[in-house]
Structure 1
């Protein structure tokens, strides 16, 4: 197993786990259970995404592409006066 990425928080870790799984890469999140002890442990480096050695390079490429993604122009809400967009 290789540690391929250090997520900033649990939300990012869960998103990346699902994304990797959707691409056929099995990943394990280490450090999830240490988050409750953050008052006594260093904040950085608790979480880590780990994958099998043979999937490490592909996982790194997928995570890099995921982090570099930009929103599409069509995702911008249309301004309509007097209408609340939720």
Structure 2
């Protein structure tokens, strides 16, 4: 198995793993117990997604598309939404 993605937290890891599974790629989320060991504060970078070596190339393509979509989705489509509301 190969670590294919380091998520910000367990929630994001499960979202990405579910997305990979929807493409027929078996994905395993690691880091559950590490997050619990540090308490209620959500540490970043301990949730990993692992896939079989033979699925890594397809998984990398799916994750690259996911990262492209999350980067562009943070930018509002409507320029009026980008400005701060009047006070």
TM over 0.5: yes
Q: Which structure has the larger Rg over C-alpha atoms?
A: 1
1:26-66: CA deviation from partner (whole Å, max 9, x where unpaired): 00011112111125xxx454211000000011111101101
RMSD: 1.9
Aligned residue in 2 for 1:21: 21
| SS of residue paired to 2:3 | strand
Aligned pairs (5 A) from 1:60-75:
60-69=60-69, 70-71=72-73
Structure 1, gaps ≥5 residues long = 77-86
1:32 is matched with 32
Structure 1 length as normaliser, TM-score? 0.71
Counterpart residue number, 2:47: 47
The structure in which a higher percent of residues are helix is 2
Cα contact 2:2–2:50 (8 A) shared by 1: yes
CA distance in 1: counterparts of 2:46 and 2:24, whole angstroms: 25
TM-score by length of 2: 0.70
- Equivalent residues of 2:9, 2:45 under 8 A apart: no
How many residue pairs get aligned? The number is 70
Gaps of 5+ in 2: 79-87
